[in-house]
Amino acid sequence: MGQFRARLHGRLPLRGARAAGNHRVPGAAASGARGMSRLVLFDIDGTLLPGRSSEARFIAYLLRRGWLGPRQLLSALGFLLRYVGLYGRDVTKKNKSYLAGLPVDRVEQAARRFVERRLLPQLFAPTVSRLEEHLSQGDHVVLLSGTPEFIARPLAAALGAHGYHSSICATRKGRFAAARPLQHPYGVEKLNIARKIAADVRMPLSEAVAYGDSYSDAILFRAVGRSVAVMPDRRLREAAAGEGWEILPLA
């Protein structure tokens, strides 16, 4: 993981001039030869990172440091009550109001340290190896995840990915707001973002490779050329068996 940390601190070059650009990933010229390279999409939680989600770990990280107080708790509870009718069981995934009132720059700094010290050592080696193989083959690698942007950005930089697309939290006057995320790559929205990425880099989504762990990724899997279910949940494992998708690890 030493090479990852070096990239995170700028001691190694990123792969692509704008490697950490949410909504803006480099063009195909930053990857391998146009006729040979593919778009490769990696989920983060459950795919690159086993176990608890990166966001859940970051919340615990902030709690231990006393960053989350009554205002953040009440904002998070208020979001649940207000939007449970709209989002149903997915309301907790949409809820970023635990950040309400926190300065954006301080959270970003904390997230950078968190990724370096807590996430990088916990990454799933087989998936990281796949990512590195794709990079060495000249593929255009993008992290596509519902985790917040401030986590996805330093992780993409550390891994040498060409870009990332992740949740964008609402802000107001330099602080996080108790509002719905402006972008949340999940389910259909994740597929739509993947289509935009493919159009931006001029690589057919139908020839892309996608890695994911959840049945919510199945809609994306059916749109790409090759799908890899990583430590899949029960429903995705069943779907993978029926569709002939690769399962990682095999056991």
Of residues 18 and 57, more confidently modeled: 57
Residue 118 pLDDT > 60 = yes
pLDDT digits (tens, 9 = 90+) for 125-165: 999 999 999 999 999 999 999 999 999 999 999 999 999 99
What angle, rounded to 10 degrees, do the helices at 54-64 and 104-114 form?
A: 110
Domain count, the chain: 1
Q: What is the CATH number of the domain that holds 121?
A: 3.40.50.1000
Residue with the two structure tokens 């430590």: 231
> For position 26, what pLDDT does the model report?
38
Instruction: Show contacts of 61-70: CB within 8 Å, 24+ apart.
Output: 61/110, 61/114, 61/118, 62/110, 65/110, 67/102, 67/110, 68/98
**Mean pLDDT on 105-129:** 98
How sure is the predictor about 22, in pLDDT bands with cuts at 50, 70 and 90?
low
Q: Under 8 Å CB-to-CB from 239, ≥6 apart: which residues? A: 215, 218, 221, 229, 245
Q: pLDDT at position 250, please?
A: 67
H-assigned helices in the chain: 2-8, 54-64, 70-87, 91-94, 104-114, 125-136, 149-159, 188-201, 218-221, 234-243
Q: What is the mean pLDDT of the chain?
A: 89
Query: What pLDDT, on the 0 to 100 scale, is given for residue 34?
Result: 47
Predicted local confidence at residue 36, as pLDDT = 73
Supply the range of the domain harboring residue 68: 2-248
Per-residue pLDDT tens over the stretch 42-79: 999 999 999 999 999 999 999 999 999 999 999 999 99
**What is the per-residue pLDDT across 199-227, written as a single tens digit (0 to 9) for each?**
999 999 999 999 999 999 999 999 999 99
